[in-house]
A and B are shown apart, each in its own frame.
Chain A
Amino acid sequence: MKHSSPSPLNGSALALLTARMEGIARKMANTLHRTGRSGILTIARDFSCVVLTAKHELLATAESLPIHVLRGPDIMAKTMSDNHPVLKRGDAFLHNSPYHGCTHPADHSILIPVIDDEGIHRFTVLAKAHQADCGNALPTTYMGAAKDVYAEGALIFPAVKIQDNYEHVMDIIRMCQLRIRVPEQWWGDYLATLGAARVGEREILALGKEIGWEKLEAYTQQWFDYSERRMIDVIRAMPKGRVTRKSTHDAFPATPSDGVTITATVEVKPEEALIEVDMTDNPDSMENGLNLSEACALSAPMLAIFNSIDHTVPKNEGSFRRIKIHLKDGSIAGRPRHPTSCSAATTNIADRVANPVQAALAELADGLGLAETGALLPPSCGVVSGVHHGKPFVNEVYLGCTGGAGAPMADGWLTILHAGNAGMCYQDSIEVDELRHPIFVHQRRLIPNSEGAGRFRGALGAYSEFAPVDCDMTVAYISDGNVNPALGTRGGLAGGNSAQFRMHADGSLEPLAACAEVVIAADERMVSISAGGGGYGAPYEREAYRVAHDVREGWVSRERAESIYGVALYDDMSVDENRTAQLRRQ
């Protein structure tokens, strides 16, 4: 094969270079995970690493948090190029502006342009890391009640140069150190994030030298074409249809009293091989921290689409060509205008966007889509802070948050956390938390009968009960789902609601507001209930042996098995086939 084929790269060269590019993104992520300083990076793994082309097209994402990476990195890279027309090797940029492509201000991102020996900008690498603190007015990175960006208080960096010729711009560093709580921790996390991006830069420079920049560029376009072809095939096989679904976020400060209803209209057009999502029929921005950034407004419906189809379709600019998301300027689920606050953009409303989109796709055909995922952010993954024997402490904990949605072929993944996270974050060890902070965890357990029943059921909710040790403790949280549960789809039922209480010394429970910073005294306990996931398909279609297993394990009561699933059991917990058939006929 000495003659050149019409296409410069065949399927094997494409596969090889893809393994190399994904390897680079993964190496960045491994570096960040192992070198980060704060718990949120090293325990929870709340970060993402991606590679983009010089034209700001998303190329490789390793295994990142979906809400972080699908859309947004492209806008951030473009902002970098627009604001800095001359990019040089050795530059690095700090970016957290939700008005310029970043998810929310707590996600500090480092962008590095990869510049070849001729000075040509070839690729951009991006490492994004959720900060333990970003200098907000309150010690939390989710300011649900902030009226605007001024009330949030975080410094906003719209692609600001933080390294020049591989040297830190100390002015910027000093500004951060004066605004961000626990500045040594921030500095450690900044170095880790920068280091990860530099690893990506170094690897791509070596790859370009080895392969040749032109060939690498040809690769990126062919990889996008391949990914687009895969997406076309998938959409062509889907049924044509248009579904509108709504999902309502509970009432929070500065929302209407009946909450925020999000409307998503999903249209699958097989003949055009296109999926469109119309998000324009939604309320205007509100004077709180729930508003979406453009990145989240675009990524949330997209992640719901990719959750709903063949998972082997690559997620990049190529497959994205077959998705159109329509947004409205100045909408809570659209493009925000400065100074609208987007403090909690990655979780609450974003989930209320992703959930109806994936549930709508399920309505189009059996085997597609997902039910709704449980809502975030209950006190069990809130930010705890206080002063213990004169020493201040602050950290986000992960003491039990579940919520996985029922799927066409599997029950909800237990530790999914929320739709945008996809279960990528870790859950805390109780012993590690008790060692690191003055807290005592009385209970952490799953809640029976809190699953959204279905042919494939949602995950159970989690109950946790924790208290400060010898001090007061502030718990900041923004718990959606107290009123509006995760709904099922295709006949599946809703998951259990979330709730939160103060347990007084006498054991009595006092209900608490859903969006709050509460002070728990030394003789009190914080009680947190996280939401269950919605079910997929009617509960009567659930295979009886699965129901029997759930009953044996204590996840579902015998009464519920009969009344909701139509499955009767003998006393030895085996299925009573006759009575089950009878129940299911009714």
Chain B
Amino acid sequence: MGLRFAIDTGGTFTDLMVSSETGVLSMHKASTTPKDPVAGVLDSLRMAADASHESLQAYLARGELLMHGTTHAINAIVTGSTARTAFITTAGHPDTLVIREGGRMEPFNFTIAYPEPYVPRALTYEVPERMTVNGLAKMPLDEAAVLQILEQIKAAKVEAIGVCFLWSVVNPSHELAVGALIERHLPGIPYTLSHKINPSIREYRRAISTCIDASLKPIMGAYMRGLETRLREAGFNGRVLVVTSQGGVMDAAHAAEAPVHLINSGPSMAPVAAKAYGEAGDTDTLIVGDTGGTTFDVSLVHRGRIPRSRETWLGQPFRSHMTGMPSVDVKSIGAGGGSIAWVDAGGLLHVGPISAGAVPGPVCYRRGGTRPTVTDAAVALGFIDAKFFLGGKMSLDQQGAMDAIKRDVADPLKCDVETAAEAIMALATEHMVQAIMDITVNQGIDPSEATFVAGGGAAGLNCVAIARRLGCRRVLVTEAGAALSASGALISDLSAHYQAMFHTLSETFDQAGVNRVLQTLSDECADFAKNAGAGTAATQIDWSCEARYIEQAWEIEVPLRKGTFENARDAAVLVEDFHQMHQDKFAVSDPHAPIETVTWNAEVRCRIGSNELGRLAPDQRAEALPSRPVRYVGAGWVDSKVYRFEAIRSGVTIHGPAIIESDFTSIVIEPGAIAVRDRMGNLVIDVTEGAR
């Protein structure tokens, strides 16, 4: 086995994790290069080659696999650089993308414009055709009308086409016919059919998935080709894979054909890493917080599973568009090291959601930022060593940070700078706690039974405070937690997700019909394993069914115990599992009520990496660093012990107050908390001691 690389391109940093031939890990961070993200990818690889004292060519030649998490797809949407896309819809229903599903946030805020449809109405074309709920063609497809429309599309210089007809999930023949006509009359124009990319009900969600997918095909195709070409030129001969929103990886060329899967590429890997590293703990429920410069991403592992959601928004909820695709459930709020603090005219403190971002950044970065941020507060309190930031690569302006806090927060609140800095940290913590509680209550998770897994460069500043507020007993900071998503990508499976709609009631369970659907899905999984998954170590299929009580509006996803229903007992087990899942999520169930199934899912996973979680190379530097003054909540200024994360031996116990620093992050061990390094290199912090 050769070198394996996992590269996560974030907004500020490009994180690289390398696993050597012997399973030893190394971590590298390069700056993200937004105009040409592949340059940042190559920069990070060059850093790793330098660290290994090899030429990039020779180093990459040892490479076997490269997994890439990229924000390129979402950035293309945000910056409007996707293809000029047409939307072909059922006659009578041209405004599916305009009306969306309704809903609004901030009911009294009339300063925000209603979002423009993802595809302009001017490029929306109605085709005479209509299927019924039973898949009967109430109106046949008018092929002559389609041909006229394709002429108009050509004249409109359209670069991609999304096709979504009502009930195409029950009978796709009209969509297929239009697809064939596009191939014949507009050869080379990329298109997407809704029943293929997202076979589920709710026309808005299917249509939006379809149009996003089509609109990304040209740009993501070019990106993937560019990535592969430049990696090859640089000397890499291995396999290039990309991270999907569903928490797996797929071949770059394959992903280019279904780029809607890449919207959440990157953040989806945080819970994958947390699950792998946290599994050995005493709970299988994890709350995962990934704190970067501008956003705080929350995800979950619930009873050993990573929950999925179909409600992933491209921007703010209700003010943007949903992807409509099943994705790892990640909630993102504008809170991070760059969140700005200020006091309003009425004397109330605010922290975020406005962010100083990477540019101009916090005041202490000396890049032109003038407003105090969470990072500035951390510097003022001594949490971050102003003289040894990022392993000494950058020195910070502590005085500047304190002056800004004094001017914008301490003076208006009539308190000293340290108190103001503590207040900023406390409010930032509370916003993160509220974001976590929104997602845990929706998944029916009691935070006091979970471990909080803190990842990202800024996570250590308040991870103990967050866990204490949530009532978690334990915090886990993985050895490579500063690059949590990349460390997840390194161990992720090659995977594909197949789904089909099939409606049946528990009272009149259509076993033969369900088995036919499952067999189709099983065949698709087998194809995938045979082709993309050829030569992989092990293949596994995770089955699930989306079902609901009959009057309900929303389905929940219930894992199936196997891929076929052999007898009535199997159906009864599904119904029991549904009631249990409903009870878990919502604290209520209706054990005598019948259920109805809507969607059936199969996720095929092929293991490509090793089963072993690697460790960073042992660090020969001293464990203890010089002490420094740090201000802890409730303890005031303390001449605090400081430890080097990489050098702490496993089993050594560290009592708070203390700071544990790595080259990439700084972890605040508050008074009363106890940290210990486990065999996997994780830092496990028991936050409850102080309370007893």
Q: Which of A16, A416, A553 contacts B122 (CB 8 A)?
A: A553
Checking A35, A424, A426, A445 against B107 with a beta-carbon cut-off of 8 angstroms, the contacting residue is: A424
Contact of B120 among A446, A462, A553 (CB under 8 A): A553
Q: A16, A195, A465 — which one has the most chain B CB atoms within 10 A of its CB? A: A16
Q: Whole-angstrom distance between the alpha carbons of A555 and B95 in the complex? A: 11
Question: A27-B437, A27-B441 are contacts. A415–B107 as well, Cβ < 8 Å?
Answer: no
A413→B202 contact, CB < 8 A: no
Interface residues of B in 399-436 (CB under 8 A from A): 412-416, 419-420, 423-424, 426-427, 430-431, 433-434
Contact of B441 among A5, A31, A192 (CB under 8 A): A31
Interface residue ranges of A448-505 to B (CB < 8 Å): 459, 462, 465
Q: A11, B113: Cβ atoms under 8 Å?
A: no
Contact B98 A414 (CB under 8 A): yes
Q: Are B430 and A20 in contact (CB under 8 A)?
A: yes
A-facing residues in B199-249 (Cβ within 8 Å): 201-204
User: How far is it, in angstroms, between the C-alpha of A5 and the C-alpha of B423 when the chains are bound?
Assistant: 15
User: In the assembly, what is the distance between CA of A554 and CA of B125, in Å?
Assistant: 12
> What separation, in Å, do the CA atoms of A10 and B422 have in the docked complex?
13
Q: A430-B203, A552-B120 in contact; A66/B95 too (CB < 8 A)?
A: no
Inter-chain contacts of B347 with A (CB < 8 A): 10-11, 14, 226, 229
- A446 lies within 8 A of B345 (CB): no
| Residue numbers in B under 8 Å from A537 (CB-CB) | none
Decide if A431 touches B94 in the complex (CB within 8 Å).
no
Which of B93, B112, B549 lies in contact with A37, CB distance below 8 A? Answer: B549
Chain A residue at minimal CB-CB distance from B548: A42
A12-B349, A12-B427, A19-B430 known; A410 vs B111 contact (CB < 8 Å): yes
Alpha-carbon distance A184/B549, docked complex (angstroms): 12
Interface string of B130-173 (1 = CB under 8 A from A): 00110000100000000000000000000000000011000000
Instruction: Give Cα distance in the complex from A426 to B132, angstroms.
Output: 23
A30: chain B residues within 8 A (beta carbon): 438, 441-442
Interface flag for A315 (CB, 8 Å): yes
Give, as a whole number of angstroms, the nearest-CB distance from A225 to chain B: 9
B388 contacts the other chain (CB 8 A): no
B102 at the interface (CB under 8 A from A): yes
**One of A96-104, A251-259, A338-346, A434-442 at the interface:** A434-442
**Known contacts A15-B349, A423-B102, A555-B121: does B586 contact A35 (CB below 8 Å)?**
yes
Selected from A307, A409, A429, A440, the residue in CB contact (under 8 A) with B202 is A429
Question: Does A539 belong to the interface (CB within 8 Å)?
Answer: no
Interface residues of A in 175-192 (CB under 8 A from B): 182, 184-185, 188, 191-192
Asked if B585 is at the interface of the complex by the 8 Å CB criterion, the answer is: yes
Within 8 Å CB of A306, what residues of B? 108
Complexed CA–CA distance, A553 and B122 (Å): 5
Within 8 Å of chain B (Cβ to Cβ): is A63? yes
Contact (Cβ within 8 A) A63 B107: yes
Does chain A have a CB within 8 A of B183? no
Complex interface residues of chain A between 214 and 267 (CB less than 8 A to chain B): 226-227, 229-230, 233
| Per-residue interface assignment for chain B, residues 527 to 551, with 1 indicating a CB less than 8 Å from any chain A CB and 0 otherwise | 0000000000000000000000101
Q: Which of A540-586 contact B (CB under 8 A)?
A: 552-555
CA distance A458 to B399 in the complex (A): 51
Given A12-B427, A15-B427, A42-B552, A423–B104 Cβ distance below 8 Å? yes
Q: Separation in Å of the A3 CB from the closest CB of chain B?
A: 11
The answer to whether residues A37 and B552 also contact, given A12-B426, A16-B430, A422-B107 and a CB cut-off of 8 A, is: yes
Please give me the residue from chain B that is nearest to A37 by CB atom.
B551
Contacts of A19 in B (CB 8 A): 427, 430-431, 434
Contacts of B567 in A (CB 8 A): none
- Chain A residues within 8 Å of B120, by CB: 552-553
Residues of B contacting A35 with CB < 8 Å? 586-588
A24 closest partner in B (C-beta): B437
Instruction: Report the minimum CB–CB distance from B199 to chain A (whole Å).
Output: 12
A84 sits at the interface (CB 8 A): no
Question: In this complex, which of B100, B109, B553 has the most chain A Cβ atoms within 10 angstroms of its Cβ?
Answer: B553
Tell me if B628 counts as interface (CB < 8 A to partner A): no
Complexed CA–CA distance, A227 and B112 (Å): 23
Which among A11, A408, A425, A434 has the greatest number of chain B C-beta atoms within 10 A? A11
Q: Which residues of B contact A142 (CB under 8 A)?
A: none
Are B103 and A407 within 8 A (Cβ)? no
Bound together, the chains give a CA A23 to CA B433 distance in angstroms of 9
| Other-chain residue from B103, B201, B419, B423 in contact with A435 (beta carbon distance below 8 A) | B201
B512 at the interface (CB under 8 A from A): no
Instruction: Give the complex CA separation of A417 and B347 in angstroms.
Output: 36
Nearest B residue to A39 by beta-carbon distance? B553
Closest to B503 in A: A435
- Select from chain B the residue with minimum beta-carbon distance to A415: B102
Question: A422 to B590, alpha carbons, bound, how many Å?
Answer: 33
Given contacts A307-B108, A409-B110, are A426 and B202 in contact (CB under 8 A)?
no
Query: What's the minimum C-beta distance from B127 to chain A, rounded to whole angstroms?
Result: 14
Q: Which of B110, B114, B430, B593 has the most CB of A within 10 A?
A: B110
In the complex, whether A400 has a CB less than 8 A from a CB of chain B is yes
User: Residue B553 contacts which of A43, A370, A434, A553 (CB distance < 8 angstroms)?
Assistant: A43
Q: Is the CB of A1 within 8 A of B416?
A: yes
- Using CB atoms, name the residue of chain B closest to A369: B110
Interface assignment of A432: CB less than 8 Å from any CB of chain B:
yes
In the assembled complex, which residues on chain B have CB atoms less than 8 Å from the CB atom of A34?
442, 554, 585-586
Task: Write out the residue numbers on chain B whose beta carbons fall within 8 Å of the beta carbon of A417.
Answer: 102
Closest to A38 in B: B551
Contact A307 B110 (CB under 8 A): yes
Pair A311/B588 contact, Cβ less than 8 Å: no
Query: In the docked arrangement, what's the CA distance between A413 and B420, Å?
Result: 39
Chain B residues within an 8 Å CB radius of A555 = 121
Tell me if A444 is interfacial: C-beta within 8 Å of chain B.
yes
Instruction: Give the CA-CA distance A442 to B93 in the complex, in Å.
Output: 8
Contact A425 B103 (CB under 8 A): yes
B552 adjacent to A446 (CB under 8 Å): no
Q: Is the CB of B346 within 8 A of A226?
A: yes
Residues of B within 8 Å of A446, CB to CB, are 95, 98-99
Q: Are B99 and A311 in contact (CB under 8 A)?
A: no
- Report the bound CA distance from A157 to B684 in whole Å: 54
Chain B residue nearest to A402 (CB atoms) is B99
- Is the CB–CB distance between B101 and A426 below 8 Å? yes
Flag if B414 contacts A5 (CB, 8 Å): yes
Tell me if B111 and A407 are in contact (CB < 8 A).
Answer: yes
Q: Identify which of A18, A182, A233, A422 contacts B108 (C-beta below 8 A).
A: A422
A83 interface hit (Cβ, 8 Å): no
Q: Which residue of A20, A31, A43, A443 contacts B93 across the interface (Cβ within 8 Å)?
A: A443
Inter-chain contacts of B111 with A (CB < 8 A) = 311, 407-410
Q: Are B103 and A39 in contact (CB under 8 A)?
A: no
Q: How far is B203's CA from A185's CA once the two chains are assembled, in angstroms?
A: 26
In the assembled complex, the Cα of A465 lies from the Cα of B121 at a distance in Å of 20
Question: Knowing A15-B348, A431-B203 touch, does A443 contact B102 (C-beta < 8 A)?
Answer: no
Residues of A within 8 A of B423 (CB): 10, 12
Closest to A370 in B: B110
**Residue pair B99, A432 in contact (C-beta under 8 Å):** no
Given A11-B412, A11-B413, A230 contacting B345 (CB threshold 8 A): yes
Contact B442 A230, beta carbon cutoff 8 Å: no
| Interface 0/1 of B54-67, CB less than 8 Å to A | 00000000000000
> Do A1 and B122 contact each other (CB < 8 Å), given the known contacts A34-B585, A306-B108, A435-B201?
no
The 7 closest A-B pairs by CB, nearest first: A12-B423, A427-B102, A423-B104, A443-B92, A422-B107, A407-B110, A311-B109
9 sample A-B contacts, Cβ–Cβ < 8 Å, listed by A number: A11-B348, A15-B349, A35-B587, A39-B553, A66-B108, A311-B110, A407-B110, A410-B114, A444-B99
By a beta-carbon cutoff of 8 Å, the part of chain B in contact with chain A is 92-95, 98-114, 120-122, 132-133, 138, 166-167, 201-204, 343-351, 412-416, 419-420, 423-424, 426-427, 430-431, 433-434, 437-438, 441-442, 503, 549, 551-554, 585-588, 590, 593
Q: A15-B430, A413-B112, A432-B202 are in contact. List 11 more A-B contacts (CB 8 A).
A: A16-B427, A226-B346, A229-B346, A411-B114, A414-B99, A415-B100, A427-B101, A429-B203, A443-B92, A445-B92, A446-B95
